[in-house]
Every structure is written in C-alpha cells, then in structure tokens.
Amino acid sequence: MEFYKTRRRNVWLVVAVLIGVQLCWALWSFSNMRARDLEQGWMAILYQFPLLNSIMMPVIAAVVASRLSDVEHKGETFKLLETVMSAGRLFDAKFLCGAVYMVSAAVLQLLVIIIAGYLKGFEGEVPISFLGYYLLFTTGVNLTILLLQQVLSLLFANQMVPFSVGLIGAFAGLLTMFFPQSVQKLILWGYYGVLMFVTLDWDQATRISDYYWLPINWSGFAVLTVIFGVIYLAGRTLFVRKEI
C-alpha cells in the first residue's frame, strides 16, 4: 500500500536523477587519467564516492521520507489508518518502503562505480570484498539517516522542518570530512567518513596522491548500529504516543 500511495510522486525519479549526477561526475572526474592514476583507480573512486554520499544521500533520504509521510499529513488520514492497523505497524511499513529506495540507491551507485571503473580502464582486479564493504557501510548509514528523517517527517506536518534538517546534515557531514574521526563520530551524517576504508597521502611538492587501504572500522559500524537502534526505539515510541 505504501508503494501504491507513492506511485505518482516520482520518488524513483529523484533517486535516478541523483545517481545519474554521480555517474556523470565520476566519468568527468576520472577523465584523462595517467598510468599511475589508473593503477590506483579503484581506491580513488572508493575514496571519493563517500564524499559524494555525504552530500547527496541525505537529500535522497529526506525526499523519500517526506514523500512517504506527507500523504497522510495532507489528507489527515493517520487516524483512519489506525482503525485498520496499529501506529507501530504503520511506522514499520513506511520505513521498509523507504528502505527499498535507499538500498536500491546504494546498489545503483555500486553499479556506477563498477561501470566507471571498466569504462576508464582501472588496472588490477576488481576489489570485490571492498565493494561489498562499501555497499554494507553505505546502506547502513543510508538507512539510519532515513530512519531519522522518517521520524521527523511523521512528527512534523510541515515537511520543510525535516527537509531542512537533511540539508543541514548533508553540509555538516561534508564539513566533518576535514576533521578527525573523533569529531565525525559525533554527527550521524559524518559516518560516511567514519566508515571509509581508503585514504591518501598528498605530496604538495609533486602534487601526487598515493591511495592506500585502511583497516575495516567494525567498531564504527557497531556504533552506527547502536545509533540506529536508539533512533528506531525512540522514534517509534514518539510516533505511537503522538496525538494524530
């Protein structure tokens, strides 16, 4: 029913456009690569896409959550829906529907990375394991941000409130990329950077960047899982108890 209610709200179009922008950016950013750049191509693209995610994915999450929630706000149908299902089930249904969009966005983005790598001729084998980690971590942050945005979209009838939070969060997430992880961990949107497993050394004199793999940050992922649980329990409880 949630998918049926959004069939003409162009949610998929928003996701597709933003992913298309990322594909165009990847093809442009990695044009005219030298032999040394091609050797590090897979690491370079897995380094740069989390930066894009910190800007674009929160916007996608805010749009998806808003589209799924403002239908009931505009039609004032929350009470009507509660005659056939509990508020908790409605909350879960909306999240699962939104999760399909966010997981699809992450999968499409992974395909963009692979396509860009092949088109540009990145050298070496495709790092399947690291691509898997990328999909896991990107999906984890996406769903946590979506959950927060859904809570705000359900609690506030004016959808500019949650959308503004999403935009501010995107800016804050990008800004924290330039700070240590101790700062990034304080902001939910900064977890795109916390869970990065590629970094670089940039030689200012030669203007050459050397990329290398980092250990997988499982402790950061565990913290993100705890944050997800806290937001879910608190947000679901607030929605269930809300006078609608």
Q: What is the rounded distance in angstroms from the CA atom of residue 233 to the CA atom of residue 183?
A: 25
The 10s digit of each residue's pLDDT in 93-127 is 889 989 999 999 899 889 888 888 888 788 888 89
Residue 143 has pLDDT above 90, yes or no: yes
Q: Where are the domains of the chain?
A: 2-241
Nearest 5 degrees, angle CA 224-CA 228-CA 230? Answer: 115
Q: Does residue 244 register a pLDDT over 60? A: no
Could you give the CA distance from residue 190 to residue 188 in angstroms, rounded to a whole number?
Answer: 5
Give the model's pLDDT for residue 134.
95
Supply the pTM of this predicted model: 0.89
Residues of the chain with pLDDT > 90, as a percent, come to: 32
| DSSP line for 20-61 | HHHHHHHHHHTSS--HHHHHTHHHHHHHHHHHHHHHHHHHHH
